[in-house]
Amino acid sequence: MTNEDRYAYRVRQALNHGLKEIPAPAARRLEAARHLALSRQKQGATELALAGRHAPSLRLGPNIPYLKQALAIAALLLGMWISFYWHSVEYVTELEEVDSSLLSDDLPPEAFLDNDFFEWLKDDSPEE
């Protein structure tokens, strides 16, 4: 027997002991309230079961407390992935344009390996 079981047993014994001291009219009202609460609990469970079985429901019950947060995180991750994909496609397109320009140019590819050529390209001074 675990600690929780022993604690529940002691609480039940204390409640049963206190039950003898409750006046009869109050005991009847408590019993009626208990039956009413149990009937509402069963009715709520039946509604949830029917909603899940027949048609999709947008109403979120207490059984899924973090669904909104999980959906928000999933939407954020999806947005980030789409953004990354879009930028990578743009980057590849730009590289294709540069490659096409280099291949169609009259300049030989060895010129791009020459460091002096890069210095000449960087030089912004006007020629006089």
pLDDT digits (tens, 9 = 90+) for 26-83: 888 888 887 888 787 776 665 655 555 554 555 555 557 788 888 999 999 999 999 9
Sign of CA dihedral 89, 95, 98, 99: negative
How many folded domains does the chain comprise? Answer: 2
Range of the domain at 105: 65-128
Same domain, 33 and 53: yes
* pLDDT confidence band for 101 (50 / 70 / 90): confident
Question: Tokens 């973090």 correspond to what residue?
Answer: 66
Q: What is the largest CA-CA distance in the chain?
A: 114
Query: 67, 60 in Cβ contact below 8 A?
Result: yes
**pLDDT (tens digit, 9 = 90+) per residue, 1-19?**
788 888 888 888 887 777 7
Residues 51, 107: one domain? no
pTM, full prediction? 0.33
**Does 54 share its domain with 69?**
no
80 and 37 part of one domain:
no
pLDDT of 81 reads 95
Task: Specify whether 81 is located in the same domain as 125.
Answer: yes
